[in-house]
């Protein structure tokens, strides 16, 4: 006798009882983009609903996030002055360190993650110190200052460090720097498998981090490489990462599942700016049922194996979950 799968689909309550994948507000980290000044809330044209904010506005934003049940954020800084090595990122009075202190002071119950990279802080827009001869980032020179940046974040009160620059050996270097400075219990969420993707375009508008020359293909991953993608995350697990990540998310759900099956660590995905913008503009032009597609997308991340979702949709999802 053939199986009648529809038996468990005919009744709404039974569908809910047998549902395999669930999304909750506990799954989300919401990105915030901080710049100096007061009363600043500038919407990004390529990402409707996403803003550059001054710290006072970000503190108010955290109040709204908590009212929605969202208690985790990841911070990106936009400094007033950029230079060749991203000095603002190494300063205890820089934009990120100051933002962490102010937000933790106002909202000690907020879980604050810091993106650890140099692309927002350098005048060339790349993720570290430039190797001019090869027109790429000098991996080992960037590792040296990355450890300094991690300690700055830790001293400011960050709850978790998230290195995104795709430097080889970064997790080992950060773990050693943090442990030596007395922060052995501070977790690291690695951007362990980060692809050189076309989906990042709008992010470079909000973070003001477009490279002044070339691209990031020499240090971020080739989107065509599956086995290398898995090896990248396994390597970071071995170096001491606490959480692994795949970025972008939507076009790489096969990689999410394979890494999830190959490692023992929690898995994050970054639902990136291009993915957000595609749904947002499709919804604004009545091409899709926006709310339905957003929730379907979030379920797909969880179904693929994600434990954590970093997403600009987080506030919208939280509101939908309350309906």
Residue pLDDT tens, the chain, 323 long: 899 999 999 999 999 999 999 999 999 999 999 999 999 999 999 999 999 999 999 999 999 999 999 999 999 999 888 888 888 889 999 999 999 999 999 999 999 999 998 888 887 777 888 877 677 888 888 999 999 999 999 999 999 999 998 889 999 999 999 999 999 999 999 999 999 999 998 876 776 666 666 667 778 899 999 999 999 999 999 999 999 999 999 999 999 999 999 999 999 999 999 999 999 999 999 999 999 999 999 999 999 999 999 999 999 999 999 98
Side-chain half-sphere CA neighbours of 188 within 13 A: 28
Contact predicate 175/182, CB 8 Å: no
* Catalytically annotated residue among 104, 105, 155, 247: 247
| Domain assignment of residue 236, yes or no | yes
Residues in binding site for Mg(2+)? 232
Residues annotated within a binding site? 117, 119, 127, 204, 216, 232, 273, 312
194 tagged catalytic:
yes
List, as one string, the DSSP characters of 264-316: SS-EEEEE-HHHHHHHHHHHHTTSS-HHHHHHHHHHHHHHHT-SEEEETTHHH
163 in any annotated domain: yes
The active-site residue, picked from 82, 194, 260, 280, is 194
Query: Please, which residues have CB within 8 angstroms of residue 13's CB and are 6 or more apart in sequence?
Result: none
pTM here? 0.94
Range of the domain at 39: 19-322
> What is the number of domains present in the chain?
1
Residue ranges of the annotated binding site for Zn(2+) are 117, 119, 127
**Position 169 in a domain:** yes
The total of other beta-carbon atoms located within 10 Å of residue 78's CB is: 20
Residue 7 covered by a domain: no
In a domain, 8, yes or no: no
Q: What is the pLDDT of residue 87?
A: 83
Residue 130 lies in a domain: yes
The C-alpha angle with vertex 237 and arms to 201 and 231, in degrees rounded to 5, equals: 65
121: in domain: yes
* Feature table: binding site for 5-aminolevulinate: 204, 216, 273, 312
Tell me, yes or no, whether 250 lies in a domain.
yes
Neighbours of 323 (CB within 10 A): 5
pLDDT of residue 83: 84
CATH of the domain at 150: 3.20.20.70
- Residue 247 known to be catalytic: yes
- For residues 266 and 134, give the distance between their C-alpha atoms in angstroms, rounded to a whole number: 36
């Amino acid at each position: 006798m053939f199986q009648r799968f529809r038996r468990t689909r005919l009744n709404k309550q039974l569908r809910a009882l047998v549902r395999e994948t669930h999304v909750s507000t506990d799954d989300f980290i919401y990105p915030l983009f901080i710049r100096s000044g007061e009363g600043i809330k500038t919407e990004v044209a390529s990402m409707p609903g996403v803003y550059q904010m001054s710290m006072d506005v970000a503190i108010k934003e955290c109040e709204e996030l908590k009212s929605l049940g969202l208690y985790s954020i990841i911070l990106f800084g936009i400094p007033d002055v950029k230079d060749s090595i991203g000095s603002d990122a190494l300063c205890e009075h820089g934009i990120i360190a100051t933002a962490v202190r102010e937000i933790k002071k106002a909202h000690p119950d907020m879980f604050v993650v810091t993106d650890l990279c140099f692309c927002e802080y350098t005048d060339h827009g790349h993720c570290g110190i430039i190797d001019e001869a090869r027109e790429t980032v000098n991996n080992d020179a960037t590792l040296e200052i990355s450890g300094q940046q991690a300690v700055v974040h830790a001293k400011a009160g960050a709850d978790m460090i998230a290195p995104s620059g795709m430097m080889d050996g970064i997790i080992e270097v950060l773990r050693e720097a943090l442990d030596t400075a007395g922060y052995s219990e501070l977790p690291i969420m690695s951007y362990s498998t980060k692809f050189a993707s076309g989906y990042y375009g709008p992010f470079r508008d909000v973070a003001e981090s477009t490279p002044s020359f070339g691209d990031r293909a020499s240090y971020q991953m080739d989107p065509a490489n599956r086995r290398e993608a898995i090896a990248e995350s396994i390597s970071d697990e071995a170096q001491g990462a606490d959480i692994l990540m795949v970025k972008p998310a939507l076009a790489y759900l096969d990689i999410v599942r394979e890494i999830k099956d190959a490692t023992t660590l929690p898995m994050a995905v970054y639902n990136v700016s291009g993915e957000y913008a595609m749904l947002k503009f499709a919804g604004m032009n009545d091409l899709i049922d926006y709310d339905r597609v957003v929730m379907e997308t979030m379920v797909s991340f969880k179904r693929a194996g994600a434990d954590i979702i970093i997403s600009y949709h987080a506030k919208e999802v939280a509101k939908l979950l309350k309906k």
